[in-house]
Amino acid sequence: MNGDCMKNGRQSNAVLFSSVTGTLDLRSKARAMARSALLIEVFLMSAGCDTSERISRLEKQNQELQAEVSRNRATADYDLQAKCSKDARVWFNENWTADKSTSLLNYTNHYSKKFGKCFILVEFHYNQGKGPSWYNDVMLWNVYENSRGANFVENHFIKFNPGVNSEDRVVTCEVGGNRCKSLEEFNGLVRPYLND
C-alpha cells in the first residue's frame, strides 16, 4: 500500500509537473508569439511609412524603363528604315535601267512598320515611238518579296494636226486587287504603304 501510495504520488507529481511544464511551455509560447506579433507590427509600420517613397521610386523606375524601351524601339525602327533604303537602292539598280526612250526613272522607298515590309514606288516615264506622246508608269513593289502590289499606267497622246491636241487615257489603275480611275486615286490608295 505504501508502494501504491508512492506510485500514486509519483503519478500525481508527474501529472502536476507536466501540467506546470505545459503551462510554462504555453507561457513561453505566448511570449514568443507576442514578440513575433510585435516584430511584425513594427516591420509593417516601418514599411507603411516607406510605402509612398517606394511607390515614388517604382514609378520613377517605370518611367525610366519606358523611356529606354522607346529609345530602343526608335533605334530598331531607324535600323529597319536604313536597311530598307539600302536594299531598295540595290533592288532598283538590279531591276531598272534607263534607255533612250526614258524621260524619267525614279523611285522612293519606305519601311512600313504597320505591314513590316519594305516598299518601293517606281515612277517611269517613257516616250511612245518617235512623237512627243509618252507613258507614265507608276508601280508599288515589295522589295524583299519582289512582288508588285500596285500599278498605274497612263498614256499621254500629243497630236499636232491641225493644232496641238492632247489626250490622257488611264490604261491600268490597280492597288492590291482594287481598281481605281486616276493618278490621284492611285496615290491615295498607295499612301498607307508609304507613310506610317
What is the pTM assigned to this prediction? 0.63
The C-alpha atoms of residue 69 and residue 96 are separated, in whole angstroms, by 40
Judged by average pLDDT, the poorest of 17-31, 101-115, 145-159 is 17-31
The C-alpha atoms of residue 68 and residue 92 are separated, in whole angstroms, by 36
DSSP per-residue codes, 78-99:
HHHHHHHHHHHHHHHHHH----
How large is the average pLDDT for residues 26-55?
A: 68
The C-alpha atoms of residue 195 and residue 144 are separated, in whole angstroms, by 18
**How many Å is the maximal CA-CA distance in the chain?**
154
Query: Which has the higher per-residue pLDDT, 24 or 157?
Result: 157
Main-chain dihedrals φ then ψ at residue 126, nearest 5 degrees: -145, 150
Query: Which has the higher per-residue pLDDT, 64 or 30?
Result: 64
**DSSP designation for 143:** T
Position 13 pLDDT exceeds 60: no
- The overall average pLDDT reported for the chain is 81
Confidence (pLDDT) at 12: 41
Position 194 pLDDT exceeds 80: yes
Confidence (pLDDT) at 11: 44
Q: In DSSP terms, which residues pair with 28 in a beta bridge?
A: none
Model confidence pLDDT, tens digit, residues 66-122 = 878 777 777 778 888 999 999 999 999 999 999 999 999 999 999 999 999 999 999
Query: What sign does the CA torsion over 22, 23, 26, 28 have?
Result: negative
* Helix, strand or coil, per DSSP, at residue 41: helix
Do 126 and 134 contact (CB within 8 A), yes or no? yes
Confidence (pLDDT) at 14: 42
